[in-house]
Structure formats: C-alpha cells, structure tokens
Structure 1
Amino acid sequence: MAEHEPNQGNSDDWYTPPAIFDALGLTFDLDPCSPGPEHWVPARKIYTKADDGLTKPWDGLVFMNPPFGNREGHLPWLTRFFDHANGIGIVRAYTSSRWWHKYMPRAEALLFPHGKTKFIRPDGSIGKSPGHGVVLIGMGEVACNALIKSKLGMFWRITADVSAVGASNE
C-alpha cells in the first residue's frame, strides 16, 4: 500500500501487481501492510491498517509494501523490516534521497524491476506508470534467492558491509 506516484485521487494505496508474486513463486508467512483478506498477496497471515502491523509480532518470511502516510511515512516500516531480516519489501527507488543512503546499506539484496511498475489502485484499475522506479529489497536466503530467480530486473546481492565503505547517515 505504498505511494509510488503523486496521489491524484482519494487514496495513496497502491497495491503490488500480481505478476510480481507470480515471478517470486513464494508464499509469505506475513503481510503486515495488507489491504485485506481478499487481496492477492500470497500470505498465510495478514495485518491490515486497523491491526497496525508495526505494533504486532512479525514471524517468518514477510512481504512488505508499506503505507506512505507522509513524506517519510515508510521509514518506521523499513526499520522494522530490516530488524526482522527475513522477507521482501518494496519501496520507491529514490536513490538520491537522504533516507535511501541511511537505510539501504542494511539491505542484503536489491532488485530493480524492468521498466516502471504499474501498481493496482483500490478500485482494481491499473495506475499509470509512476514517475520513478521501485526496488524490491531482499533479506534472508529464501527472499534473496527468489529475487534472483524471478528475473524481474537488475539484481544486486550485497556481499560486503557497504555501510563501512563511505556511507554516511547525515
């Protein structure tokens, strides 16, 4: 449920396209940011907005498409995702932003999908291509292996402590 382009309508909910899940071939243990039980994210357990997934326990392999309540509303979700360290998250590939340089050195793998991902709106319509790309973040062996096998785009596996190589949290 992330904002992947400026909100032109009544909602900033943008649902990950089913084709991404088809390519990943995974069933997740948890979707902590689920739009509801009828959604197509293949997850055994979900937390909706009403459940407040940030305050609930996360177990197993997680899929996270975080809500963007404000300019950096996804950052608490990224922190929780990286602390959990097992799953796939999707956020905007905003590589010039301060938050990217602060948080992304924690990633184990990054996959930049080919082209611009067309997210699904709450009414089921397909949104126009966003003005920027997205990245799938892999944490843990199962997630990282699924990303590379998906052939969804350019895959980078992080093998060194990039936070020690010129990264700054300022």
Structure 2
Amino acid sequence: MAEHESCIGGSDDWYTPRDMLDAIGLTFDLDPCSPGAGHWVPARQIYTKADDGLAQPWRGLVFMNPPFGGRNGHVPWLERFFDHRNGIAVVRAYTSSEWFHETVAPRAEALLFPKGKTQFIPSDEVRERLEREAAAKGKVWRNAPGHGVVLIGMGDTAINSLRNSGLGLFIDRRENLTEAA
C-alpha cells in the first residue's frame, strides 16, 4: 500500500470495518470508491470502479477509502477529497512519506489516529486466495496489517463525528492550518 511496499494481497479491495463506520455514526451523501451496491458504508450514492469516481461530480458529505493502486495511486483521490472539503477519508498513516507531507499534512482540517491496527476487510476472493496461499505454506492467514491508518476530517459535520467517535487520538488542526507545511 505504501511507496516501497506492495499492497498486502496485491489488491485494492480492502474495506473499512463496520465497527469503525458505526463509531463514526454518519450517513454519507457519497462514497466515490465503493465496491458496489449492498456494501456496508452508509452512503446515499455510490460510485464504483466502473463509474470512475474521480471523473464524477461529488456532492455533500463524502466517505472515501481510496484505492491505492500503483505507487501514489491514492494521491489524486486525496487531492480531490481536499478540494471537496466535506467528509471523511481513511488512508495509511504513513507519516514519513513524501505524499503525507505534501498532500495530507498541509490540508487536513482534522486527523484521527485509531487505537490499534485497523482490521480492514478483504473481498471474499482476496480472503480465499490469501487463506489458500497461507495453507500451502502450512500457516493460517490472519488479517494483521503492519501499519496504522489515519481518518481525515474536512468540514464541521465530519470533524465533530470524528471527535466524538472514541476511536483514538483526535487532532483538530483548523486553527493551525496556516502554520502547516
């Protein structure tokens, strides 16, 4: 998922856990990176990979768990999210990376670093493949990412929800944004 690391499982299909969304407690107007209808992100409208959410209009409160794709593939999504200025995005808390310092640090209004490691949910296909690969090596696959994440809040509704979620360390940066960079 990071600049020098390949995505665990070689897939962008890693979904935000339901308990995190429950703690956030919002219904979003748009999920521009949805795996499809029936997924558990509470959003009134979704765009899937086939819709190309980057090319579509965004409106209202957005929830975004962007695809990482290749090297820095998530950065155009983050730039679009920051330009939209209303919602919650979840990305890797890779604070030593250039993209974090150039894209996230100067623009994020609020940051929430969840306690512990977030157990993202793989698609059924990815989970089955990872379980088979582990079994072939005599091991059991466990969903244990090697890194933390950060939830980025933009706009009052998103920021207040993150503040009240109880998920972890919350930082409201709105008063200090002019000092960032």
What are the within-5 Å matches in structure 2 for residues 8-157 of structure 1? 8-9=8-9, 11-104=11-104, 105-123=106-124, 128-157=143-172
Contact map agreement 1:121 1:127 (CA 8 A) in 2? no
Deviations, residues 50-99 of structure 1 (Å, cap 9, x unaligned): 00000000000000000011120000000000000000000000001111
Q: Aligned partner of 2:17: which letter?
A: P
Structure 1 alignment gaps of length 5 or more:
none
Contact map agreement 1:118 1:127 (CA 8 A) in 2? no
Q: 1:10 to 1:110 in 2, by over 3 A?
A: closer
Structure 2 alignment gaps of length 5 or more:
128-140
Partner Cα distance (2:78, 2:103) in 1:
7
Q: 1:37 to 1:45 in 2, by over 3 A?
A: same
Contact map agreement 2:112 2:169 (CA 8 A) in 1? yes
Partner Cα distance (1:159, 1:54) in 2:
26
How much does 1:137 deviate? Answer: 0.2
Contact map agreement 2:24 2:161 (CA 8 A) in 1? yes
> What percent of counterpart residues are identical?
65
Q: 1:26 to 1:75 in 2, by over 3 A?
A: same
How much does 1:103 deviate? Answer: 1.1
Deviations, residues 84-136 of structure 1 (Å, cap 9, x unaligned): 00000000000011111111220110000000000000018596221110000
Which structure shows the higher helix fraction?
2
Contact map agreement 1:120 1:127 (CA 8 A) in 2? no
Contact map agreement 1:106 1:163 (CA 8 A) in 2? no
Contact map agreement 1:66 1:91 (CA 8 A) in 2? yes
SS at match of 2:68: coil
Partner Cα distance (1:26, 1:127) in 2:
29
Contact map agreement 1:58 1:84 (CA 8 A) in 2? yes
Q: Aligned partner of 1:52: which letter?
A: D
Matched length: 164
Q: Aligned partner of 2:59: which letter?
A: D
Deviations, residues 10-36 of structure 1 (Å, cap 9, x unaligned): 523110000011101100000000000
